Structure 1
Amino acid sequence: MVLVGFFSGKQKDYETVMAEAAARLAADGGRVVARIVQRRGVSDGGVRKMSLPFSSRTLLRQGKVREVAHAADRTDADVVVFTNSLTEHQRLSLTALLGRPAVGLADLLGSG
């Protein structure tokens, strides 16, 4: 699986969050083959919108969606897991764009 995280530029511990998510997935029998991070608010232009997704449809920028799709294809991943919760609309849109299921970590592991 490909693990994806969307983080505010203010969140400095994003690497820890990604490592913990990968560990939780491994403990549940999953194998993370790629990790991709999208950060918002790192550049001057994004500071005001730091906590908002880049896209209400996909959460990520389109270029990052392409990067995730490429990583999933290259590694033959069967699912893309987001550290973030996804709306139903985001889940359906990302599943269509990525060509494989896109799910939130909490949904996959059945916890909050």
Structure 2
Amino acid sequence: MGSDRKSKRTAYSSPSESEEKKSKDKHKSKRSKGEVNMDFQELSSDDYFAKNNEFATWLKEEKNVFFSDLLSESARELFAEFVKAWNRGKLESNYYEGIATAPRSSHNWKIKK
């Protein structure tokens, strides 16, 4: 009985490192709209904070929505859409190169210099 359990565990082993690498690498060169061909790291929902500038810029440019106008749940749902576009290589090259600042709100700050 104990040996049956071990064989079942090995039969359902996780993919090898080379299989996972192939899966991730397949997105590296896909681009549309004449975009620059470059390597990029695939994203997941865990990258919500790390790619917030890119996400906020995408929201404004593609959805005409400011990040600050969204509820948390809506932002997470839209981030999932952003991740899909990112991982398919459908975004402009500036997203993959990195964006330092992003539009956050429609508020016009009147700060004197």
TM-score with structure 1 setting the length: 0.23
Pick the structure with more helix per residue: 2
Greater C-alpha Rg: 2
